Amino acid sequence: MRNVQEILKKRAEELSKPLKVDEGKEDLIEVVLFNLANEVYGLEAAYVREIYPVSEVTKLPGVPEYIHGVMNVRRKIIPIIDLKFFFGLEKTKNIHNQRVIILEQGEMEFAILTDKIIDIRFIPSHTLQSGIPTLTGVRQEFLKGITPERYIILDGDKLLNDNHLVIEEE
């Protein structure tokens, strides 16, 4: 009986100690993972305002083809970008039951179409690779890195500040 009490006391002492922070934990980035054309992409959660179901989309005349249209989100008109088409993958045809990721930084905000939201994860930033040869063109410009699991992490800051994705009235 005394032996059991000693064991329990030692366990209690161990559990009461503060947790040690592992080195490298401070470089974790939180990313929202989603599918686009059978590939897994991610965006830093710091740029994601919300994930929202696609509702009624209004098409706009005279805009580039990668602008899918606009959507009313709680009385605010949000432009929707089709990244698949923008990246040269394919144009999204059916948006039934899809979700958008609404990106925001300062005054700039827009939504991007996704095929499917996968997960939200923490990824060590030091594990991101700079790129792979098969990732070319526009996708390479917006690349933050590629994880060991082959998730393509996009640079939210570059997306939100790219001149091609900004539509201005003239």
Question: 24-62: per-residue pLDDT in tens?
Answer: 456 899 999 999 888 899 999 999 999 999 988 999 998
Q: Report which of 69, 42, 44 is spatially closest to residue 57, judged by C-alpha positions.
A: 69
Q: How confident is the model at residue 73 (pLDDT cuts 50, 70, 90)?
A: very high
For residue 111, being part of any structural domain is answered with yes
Residue 19 has what pLDDT? Answer: 54
Q: Rounded distance, CA 159 to CA 47, Å?
A: 10
Is residue 152 within 8 Å of residue 135, measured between CB atoms?
yes
| 12 vs 168, more confident | 12
For residue 9, being part of any structural domain is answered with no
Number of domains in the chain: 1
Return the bridge partners of 58, or none: 70
Strand order in the sheet with 39-44: 116-124, 28-36, 39-44, 152-154, 143-146
For residue 137, being part of any structural domain is answered with yes
Is residue 145 within 8 Å of residue 129, measured between CB atoms?
yes
Q: How confident is the model at residue 97 (pLDDT cuts 50, 70, 90)?
A: confident
For residue 139, being part of any structural domain is answered with yes
Percentage, residues of the chain above pLDDT 70 = 81
150 Cβ neighbours under 8 A, 6+ residues apart: 40
For residue 5, being part of any structural domain is answered with no
For residue 14, being part of any structural domain is answered with no
CATH number at residue 71: 2.40.50.180
For residue 85, being part of any structural domain is answered with yes
For residue 62, being part of any structural domain is answered with yes
Task: Give the structural domain span for 92.
Answer: 27-165
Predicted confidence (pLDDT) at residue 95 exceeds the cutoff of 90 = no
Give the mean model confidence (pLDDT) for residues 134-141.
63
Ordered DSSP codes for 102-113 = EEEETTEEEEEE
